[in-house]
Amino acid sequence: MTNKNNFSMPYSLGCNFDPKLIEVISKIDKGKSIKSVFGKMRSDLLGGGRASMVLPDISIRELKEYIELCHSKGLKFNYLLNPMCMENKEFSPRYHKKIISYIDNLVSIGIDAVTVNSPYLCELIKKRYPNIKVSIGLYAYIFDLHHIEYWHNLGADELTLFHKINRNFELLEKMLNYTKNSNMSLRLIANNVCLHSCPYAVMHGTSQAHASQNKHFSKHVNLDYCLLKCTTEKIKNPTQLIASEWIRPEDIKHYENLCEKTGNYNFSIKLLDRTKSTDFLTKVIKAYTQKVYNGNLLDILVWPRLSETVKVHKKPFIFKAITGRYNIDEVKKFFDAFNLPDFYLDNRKLDGFLEKFTTKFVCDEFTCEGSEISKPSGITKCSYCKTWAEKAISFNDEERKKWLLKTDSVNSGLVESKIFE
């Protein structure tokens, strides 16, 4: 239990397996707020929450060396066994033995924790490896007290709460009070940019899982329709960018205050993303450990700019996997769509934004003024995020419209099956 007189928010950080990243943490994080890093190999038997094609290519030996480097700097390592779907491999005798052997190997090279989304893996790992911390990932979609009780009974040590909880302070307070006398901790993700109540969430998690599994028929190619649609929604309607449940570095204090109020300090913040470059992650580390950022908030959020993606591959296996299976011209158009128009989300102009939510305002009781659906009878529309979008977001509208036209063409290539011809 953290001493309340010294409480400062602890963090876990996604790692890209660049040794320089660990040195950056040591240099910038003087208060040692970052307690652990998390990641996984590009692909494995189970898969994970990111497609192989956007992940660094490392060997098991390199993973072991990286874990040793983390330990030398006082950081714990959390290995991700977090696919949304494992294709029932965990219940196949042949694959079950391979899964056990794989986890045994991970434990032998020094992992401190695992992240899973499977209740079965949670129970299995806590039974076989009682000293390994089991964290439950985002794709378990934990958003109410019932979920917390179920996972507690399954033996989970830590729960990552669904994005919808980030700004629901009334419910978060109840959750902290509920878990106060347990050894289970809660955490939120601060810098993701998912759509509020995203309709693509389940499909996205499943597609990412299969696109990072060894010997899957996808050959690790993932044409990320979900990410394309999610990003398009926010560029088409900037209100959606504000409604996304990110947490600014300056607003971490509100979550620290909630821990003080409830007396529950088993709480942390998760920072993304392991697909990003060390330059990007350096900005994230500095902003959240110092709890201030002056500039474009998108520079520290997981805004899918190609220029910020980690250099991932030792061999061009993706191009080999695409050739002969897809329309190359359409595939090029698809990836070019992630050369996004310039959006500037002025972080300084967002000062005071979160205060409304700390006073028990709950988004789900309203519909969004930015929506294209007409006002339903008996439902109140909220214009809060729209007002802040108009205040804090700037862009070149001509550039935005050109990008939207280009992206409409890309989407047509998918829904009209042109990309598969």
Q: Over the stretch 104-163, which tens digit does the pLDDT of each residue have?
A: 999 999 999 999 999 999 999 999 999 999 999 999 999 999 999 999 999 999 999 999
Side chain identity at 35, as an amino acid letter?
K
pLDDT of residue 173: 97
Specify whether the CB–CB gap between 221 and 412 falls below 8 A. Answer: no
In one-letter notation, the amino acid at residue 333 is K
**Alpha-carbon torsion (49, 54, 164, 401), positive or negative:** negative
Q: Count CB atoms within 10 A of the CB of residue 77.
A: 22
Domains located in the chain, CATH noted:
4-228+245-297 (3.20.20.70)
Name the one residue in this structure whose structure tokens are 């959240």: 288
Residue 315 — very low, low, confident or very high, per pLDDT cuts 50/70/90? very low
Q: Kindly tell me if the per-residue pLDDT of 380 is higher than 90.
A: no
pLDDT surpasses 80 at 231 = yes
Q: What is the pLDDT of residue 373?
A: 61
Percentage of the chain modeled with pLDDT above 90: 79
Q: Given this model, what pLDDT does residue 397 score? A: 97
Can you tell me the distance from the alpha carbon of 411 to that of 225, in angstroms, rounded to the nearest whole number?
Answer: 8
Specify the pLDDT at position 372.
62
Split at pLDDT 50, 70, 90, the class of 407 is: very high
The tokens describing 90, both together, are 């965990």
Strands 11-14 and 267-271 come out as parallel
Higher confidence at residue 342 or residue 371? 342
Mean pLDDT of 319-340: 84
Where is pLDDT greater, at 414 or 360?
414
Q: Which residues pair with 37 in a beta bridge?
A: 13, 77
Q: Is 258 exposed, middle or buried (0-12, 13-18, 19+ CB in 10 A)?
A: middle
Structure tokens at 212: 């990072």
* 207's tokens: 């597609």
Report whether pLDDT(314) > 60.
no
- Between 322 and 418, name the one with better pLDDT: 418
Rounded to whole angstroms, how far apart are CA atoms 99 and 113? Answer: 16
Predicted confidence (pLDDT) per residue in 183-221, tens digit: 999 999 999 999 999 999 999 999 999 988 887 776 667
Q: Is the pLDDT of residue 51 over 90?
A: no
Reported as a single tens digit per residue, the pLDDT across 265-295 is: 999 999 999 999 999 999 999 999 999 999 9
Mean pLDDT of the 242-250 span:
97
Please name the amino acid found at residue 137.
G
pTM: 0.94
| Angstrom distances, CA of residue 221 to CA of 149, 304, 313 | 37, 17, 13
**Greater pLDDT, 375 or 20:** 20
- pLDDT attached to residue 300: 98
Query: Which has the higher per-residue pLDDT, 218 or 354?
Result: 354
What pLDDT is recorded for position 289? 98
pLDDT bin (cut points 50, 70, 90) of residue 1 is: very low
**In this predicted structure, what is the pLDDT of residue 2?**
47
Q: Does residue 333 surpass a pLDDT of 50?
A: yes
CA distance 74 to 248: 26
Per-chain mean pLDDT for the chain: 92
pLDDT interval class at 54 (50, 70, 90): confident
Cα–Cα dist 323/318, whole Å: 9
Binning the chain into helix, strand and coil, the percentages to the nearest 5 are 50, 15, 40
What is the average pLDDT across 414-418? 93
Mean pLDDT of 340-361: 95
Tens of pLDDT, residue by residue over 62-79, are 999 999 999 999 999 999
Buried b (16+ CB within 10 A) or exposed e, 8-30: ebbbbbbbbbbeebbebbeeebe
Three-state DSSP at 327 gives coil
Question: Percent of the chain, pLDDT > 70?
Answer: 93
